[in-house]
Structure 1
């Protein structure tokens, strides 16, 4: 029996026995009986548990800025919606759940119809039934600008893309899960500009850092209020913007999570996103504004794969090591049109200028639009070269998302915010000083380089959105664990940016070995921006990990002290289109998979060195 309960029981026994003259304490009575004085009186009562009803709505008040907007109980099998009729596409509750919507102020005042006006940070929390809770919190990161309807009564956002569904995490895993709109409902960058065209520093702060921190602390508080006890472990799971958010938590709020899973992190935000517009500027300035066709993209990117995917005499269909791929379409007659001296007579042939444009896409942004000979510098490295502003996508990755018929809209939003001119964005960008008008088309190389520089200079106003602080000592010292991964055929975020950051952390934290004690990284050949084939070859079918597999590695690291292995085997999933299962090892960075002998599509044929 705990000491305080024993003392209380003895005191009651003494009172009851007084009439019978049974001695208690240090006075007369049985020899040798002596009890310590009661300290603090009776034990405190157990915390009052809030039910999944209106009592939670009125009873959960962790601070003056937090308002409970909605509490709703879902039974297993219920459609996850707040109103209207369910369809075949409506997700259902995988178990009994309590769903809570929160708003955390103060938000940002302004005209009612302005995208920059916000009531606060919206958060959706999913709580398993008490009997099903595994004592974990497992929240999910956002994507893109991370806006959503979490802070409104207009809907539910149960899915979090590559990080998985928050509702399913609660219903299947049994962990409390949550998502946040990071302080805004709009889906583009309009929220980050005030009506007068200036930087909205309040909502940049909510987007960059405060929204995810508030989600962490409010989810913990709500779990304690609902279950009557604190969570034992807290995990972050995010991809892209969610990966950046995970790194921000490790950097700025190291006590929020015990383990962080950060996929394809969108840190170096202003640098890589400004560079995402570079392929479109190449098309405008070098190709007269005439976009490359899908056939041309396929011809050149598949030629790059074919030149760099041969292992053990077998073409893998994807590039296993982009750092060693120096394919140059400008020197490949097989892709150059016959009219320009090449041998390609198909509709997918390219001119010499178009072939050079591909080299520029792969190399990344330069201040003047120049590009070196790929034989000397292919652009795939952990550090930028002289004159290189940032990295491009790897050879073999699909380029149509950045160099297709239209720009990636986040890139035009970002440039408009850096130069504080909304007209540079696409027409979906709204502001009182003028809506987006595709003004990006008029930018030259020097002007885009200026926008890149402005993005760096504005980091204080942008709430340090680049999320590139290499000092993770506070996270390390409290025994936090960070597991990251990035596809080598990512179609939006160059994986070199992750290598760049990891190298800076290692330099700050005592070297690779010391860094791997708490922060480990896997690079995944052929993987795109998600758990999918990111290459220009639809038949590639590269072996990939799953989010569940990586999350299991993280929880084992945190809870059992089993670090993610130097060699992790991954496999394809058998299907009608791809019935033969392929496997390969993912090697803990900076190790690489080295082919020894045997079937190149079997993991046993490789070692990590």
Structure 2
């Protein structure tokens, strides 16, 4: 079967023919799961091509792109019909250009008619710049949708957002201009097409419309959920969007700022993992006491003003401190960590944490964007590839690949300033490949790039297609009757929790206040919660309560289908060691407050206030 070659539009008829040959004989019990049957029933449009229809029987192996997520088996958990679509127009260009695309690849998984529960439950994309192989007829890119369809009986789909590479190279045309159609697809259109196509296939395959349509996504998939509510308010009855990369350019530029602080302030020599963990765990130890006990994670981040520059137990003896271990930190290193906790400023400065710990949602003065909650792991150990890229950018390619702060590297800077040479060497463009010239940038130049990203990424008509997803007017979504649920961890290692807080308060200011907004949109903040990880703290022994799988989906379906609005919810530790903890989470701006007595590891000892 031929591969999809970006830009080779002439291959589409061949792929359609190959899909028909592969799936001409439908599996028993799936008479409609063939290319011929789907072509007859499915009324697409001139931009949509069916590239594969394939039945899977329960237990069949999914030919998935590596690596397979450990929580997924890589097999079909029930009889399913896979339909792959390509939705143009894409972005024409040379076959070897990262920006060349046939369009938006979509994978749709259909339960058998007997197993369909009447719902659509679509799944958001990967992290960062997304991208994938949903347009390939040979691979399953994102098996979460297959698992959802098989286990729940709902139609489920995913998309590559219109491009294959996962670094930022796709966003720039060979002549150095921004690939606007691809930005529109990535920002919001790809997920809109998923909604349209799953609804059309429901009618084609089952002969009836869905009863309810839901979307669920995290990280970039979380941002996509917000984009759907802002750009396409009629697509879904309920949206669950967690850990979102809202204010996308600000987030990515702030991550670059972490990289820049190491270059500017530490001569390009990153802190070791041991140094980062030492400081983060000291912050936890200073701020995690509730009811006289150390919880192992911080419950009230707003009250934590820990300053490593004032902690003699951490500072090296050569810096006037008491620590003689290899993990001690210099005053310059302590100041850099304070910068990561505070967030990006116009000149690289950081106030004393005693005066401003960076948690306040209101930005003022030199403060451009938000940093990370104290106690958060300052590197994403499970995102080895991203960290390895960062180490390479810093000129430490032989290091472990897990040191220093994780980053989207310098791709966003290169895109904002339309100068590919600023990026690292993974960034490919005909007008100039990445050369790491970001290392020569000043803090003021980075601040200019930040402002440029805001200008390019905000508003539907911008060159980046509204990727910042920052419109606080959700009146059309509310009028549609849509419900919106979100949660975000206080120790998210990639996306500071203030992204979600900032947006929620902007919506409340636009739409009549908190009470009015909570009629259709509720946000929950999770102490200790990480970025798609069990917890985001630097403490390996921490065991904070976490949202259970399916917990928010159940709350959403109850809200939409039964009118039961979520309020105080209880979450539990995902493991029993060292001790299981239960605590409530509360609709923002409320938070769980200890009542002054009782076991601080038990939910009954807290009120929502």
TM-score, with structure 2 as normaliser: 0.88
2:101 is equivalent to residue 118 of structure 1: yes
Kept in 2: contact 1:251–1:471 (CA 8 A): yes
Report Cα offsets for 1:517-550 as digits up to 9, x if no partner.
0000000000110141100111111100124001
Aligned to 1:491: 493
2:448 alignment partner, SS class: helix
1:291-330 equivalences in 2 (<5 Å): 291-330=270-309
CA gap of 1:80–1:299, structure 2 versus 1, over 3 A, is same
1:361 alignment partner, SS class: helix
2:57 is equivalent to residue 75 of structure 1: yes
Structure 2 Cα separation of the partners of residues 472 and 353 of structure 1: 44
Among candidates 88, 102, 114, match of residue 131 of structure 1: 114
Aligned to 1:476: 478
More off after superposition, 431-440 vs 481-490: 431-440
Distance apart, 1:385 and its partner CA: 2.5
Aligned to 2:601: 601
Report Cα offsets for 1:381-424 as digits up to 9, x if no partner.
22212210100111110112489646745241111100111121
Structure 2 Cα separation of the partners of residues 531 and 400 of structure 1: 12
Structure 1 Cα separation of the partners of residues 554 and 575 of structure 2: 22
Aligned to 2:32: 51
Structure 2 Cα separation of the partners of residues 83 and 448 of structure 1: 36
1:35-434 equivalences in 2 (<5 Å): 51-59=32-40, 60-81=42-63, 91-143=74-126, 144-159=128-143, 165-401=144-380, 405=403, 408=406, 410-434=408-432
1:73 alignment partner, SS class: strand
Kept in 2: contact 1:61–1:67 (CA 8 A): no
Kept in 1: contact 2:64–2:74 (CA 8 A): no
CA gap of 1:274–1:61, structure 2 versus 1, over 3 A, is same
Structure 1 Cα separation of the partners of residues 63 and 260 of structure 2: 43
Kept in 1: contact 2:423–2:436 (CA 8 A): yes
CA gap of 1:359–1:87, structure 2 versus 1, over 3 A, is closer
Supply the RMSD in Å over aligned alpha carbons: 1.9
Aligned to 1:584: 583
Structure 2 Cα separation of the partners of residues 124 and 215 of structure 1: 9
2:504 is equivalent to residue 506 of structure 1: no
2:408 alignment partner, SS class: helix
Structure 2 Cα separation of the partners of residues 454 and 231 of structure 1: 42
Distance apart, 1:282 and its partner CA: 1.0
Structure 1 Cα separation of the partners of residues 94 and 487 of structure 2: 42
Distance apart, 1:87 and its partner CA: 13
Structure 1 Cα separation of the partners of residues 69 and 608 of structure 2: 48
More off after superposition, 438-447 vs 225-234: 438-447
Distance apart, 1:447 and its partner CA: 1.0
Kept in 1: contact 2:245–2:495 (CA 8 A): yes
Structure 2 Cα separation of the partners of residues 50 and 468 of structure 1: 45
Kept in 2: contact 1:487–1:525 (CA 8 A): yes
Distance apart, 1:320 and its partner CA: 0.8
2:164 alignment partner, SS class: coil
2:253 alignment partner, SS class: helix
Structure 1 Cα separation of the partners of residues 275 and 409 of structure 2: 23
Structure 1 Cα separation of the partners of residues 101 and 31 of structure 2: 29
Distance apart, 1:434 and its partner CA: 1.7
Structure 2: give runs of 5+ residues left out of the alignment: 1-29, 381-386, 391-401
More off after superposition, 235-244 vs 278-287: 278-287
1:517-532 equivalences in 2 (<5 Å): 517-532=519-534
CA gap of 1:514–1:290, structure 2 versus 1, over 3 A, is same
Aligned to 1:571: 572
Structure 2 Cα separation of the partners of residues 316 and 64 of structure 1: 58
Structure 1 Cα separation of the partners of residues 598 and 292 of structure 2: 10
The total of aligned residue pairs comes to: 552
Structure 2 Cα separation of the partners of residues 67 and 166 of structure 1: 20
CA gap of 1:278–1:409, structure 2 versus 1, over 3 A, is closer
Kept in 2: contact 1:137–1:231 (CA 8 A): yes
CA gap of 1:556–1:531, structure 2 versus 1, over 3 A, is farther
Kept in 2: contact 1:133–1:176 (CA 8 A): yes
Distance apart, 1:130 and its partner CA: 0.5
Distance apart, 1:276 and its partner CA: 0.5
Structure 2 Cα separation of the partners of residues 82 and 382 of structure 1: 41
TM-score, with structure 1 as normaliser: 0.88
